[in-house]
Amino acid sequence: AVKPHPRKKKPKYDLPVPSIHNRSPANNGGQPCKKHELYVSFSDLGWKDWVLAPTGYSAYYCDGECFYPLGSCMNATNHAVIQQVVHLMKPDDVPKACCAPTKLSPISVLFYDDNNNVILKKHRNMVVKTCGC
Amino acid sequence: LWSQQAEGLVHSSFRRLSGREKKEMQKEILSILGLPGRPRPHPPLRPPSSAPLFMLDLYHAMSADGEDEGNEIIVNGPGMGKFAGAERLAQVSHAVLPTLSTHTPPLGTVVSEADTVMSFVNLVEQERDLLQPRPYWKEFRFDLTPLPQGETVTAAEFRIYKTLTMGQRANRTLHISVYEIQRETRHREPELVLLDMQSVPAGQEGWLAFDVTSASNHWLLHPRSNLGIRLYVETEEDRSLSAGWIGLVGRRGPRSKQPFMVTFFRESQVPCRPPR
């Protein structure tokens, strides 16, 4: 059981604050932590003349809440489970576990250099494979 | 009502990028790609010549294999990936641009060590005047300066296309050898070092790949020593033939069959981006 913080005043109104980033559960329906679509388009950046392939790639991003108890669908690490429990005991001291990539994969980019030579480079950690808490 | 407005706000935030945002994004992605700035190749880039065609097939092979690869996140550790599926890459590369002989270094072992693959179009091409006495030869030179200094070339191949020619007995065997030109001296033959040699049936057509790894590492360490490579063709009776006679395509051939060089190399350090 967590004792209420003696000095902390109970906020009068807890209206959810509308903002893009820290969306409160009110408007994203308390979505659990998961992978979301994010496409990076090289052609939108005006690079079609020198990037041979790909024209863009799905980079994805992780977003959502790490609710307690962290279900197996949230792909939570043991560390996150512990952090979550401690957060419940001391919400002001320890933040909630956060939703982040747990597996990333590379992409290969094929492009021309200034001398029309063709270069194929592999770049690591460019695509989110799995998210978790 | 409020949540719908909030949702509306969220979706409207994904409007098209403004000019400044686009520049910011370009700068960030270029720094991740390890490029100082946006390359400005000069047209015509289409239709792609032999090197881009080869690299495009390599790209598709790697992308197909890269799908099942992923890095476990090691907290605060750099994700170290390796070229996966290199064996398949070897099959694809030879399947797409079949080399006439099996002598070339197996791409699989090479690619698994490489971080970057670069192809270089042929810059200079000269050959022995046919009115001169034998032996005939053909020289090629590539500008490797775009390779970042201090890297190690894990493999390099010189690729040249052989077409069919009339008048050649199909079952005759031709010996094609490639040398590094190490030192040129006036009025004397230059010093040559044998890099690779292949025996090829005269009646076959396709890409030939010669291993020029040692020469490209040498040129990388001493760029001024890059005098190019020299190619000889001989019959089994040791008679010297001109490369053109047996159908080897040079700079004046069709763009999709011109000779080029491809290097696989590994970057010594993971490029660290300057803090911003």
Is A89 part of the contact surface with chain B (CB cutoff 8 Å)?
no
Give yes or no for residue A60 having a pLDDT over 70: yes
List, in order, residues 6 or more apart from B20 with CB less than 8 Å away: none
Mean pLDDT across chain B? 74
Give yes or no for residue A80 having a pLDDT over 60: yes
What pLDDT does B207 receive? 95
Closest CA to A126 of A41, A50, A60, A37: A60
Q: Which of A77, A112, A122, A125 to mutate to test the interface with B (most CBs of B within 10 A)?
A: A122
Question: What's the pLDDT band for A19 if we cut at 50, 70, 90?
Answer: very low
Per residue in B180-196, pLDDT tens?
Answer: 998 877 777 889 999 99
Contact at CB, B118 and A106, closer than 8 angstroms: no
Beta bridge partners, B138, equal B127, B231
Is A46 part of the contact surface with chain B (CB cutoff 8 Å)?
yes
Give yes or no for residue B248 having a pLDDT over 90: yes
What pLDDT does B102 receive? 36
Per residue in A87-99, pLDDT tens?
Answer: 999 999 999 999 9
What pLDDT does B11 receive? 40
Is A121 part of the contact surface with chain B (CB cutoff 8 Å)?
yes
How far apart are the C-alpha atoms of B58 and B263, rounded to whole Å? 12
Phi, psi of B130 (to 5 degrees): -65, -15
B9 contacts on A by Cβ (under 8 Å): 18, 20
Is B30 part of the contact surface with chain A (CB cutoff 8 Å)?
no
How far apart are the C-alpha atoms of B273 and B276, rounded to whole Å? 9
- Taking the alpha carbons at both ends of chain A, their separation in whole angstroms is 24
Identity of the highest mean pLDDT range in A111-120, B18-27, B201-210: B201-210
What pLDDT does B244 receive? 87
Per residue in B197-211, pLDDT tens?
Answer: 999 999 889 999 999
Give yes or no for residue B266 having a pLDDT over 50: yes
Residue A60 token pair: 């994805």
Cβ within 8 Å of A, B 146-165:
146
What pLDDT does A99 receive? 93
What pLDDT does B88 receive? 37
C-beta separation of B207 from B249 below 8 A: no
Distance from CA of A61 to the nearest CA of B (A): 14
Is A124 part of the contact surface with chain B (CB cutoff 8 Å)?
yes
Is A49 part of the contact surface with chain B (CB cutoff 8 Å)?
yes
B116 contacts on A by Cβ (under 8 Å): 119-122
Name the least confident of B39-43, B228-232, B233-237.
B39-43
Work out whether the CA dihedral A9, A10, A15, A21 comes out positive or negative.
positive
List, in order, residues 6 or more apart from B132 with CB less than 8 Å away: none
Distance from CA of B203 to the nearest CA of A (A): 32
Identity of the highest mean pLDDT range in A67-76, B56-65, B69-78: B56-65
What pLDDT does A106 receive? 86
Of A27, A54, A104, the CB nearest to B7: A27
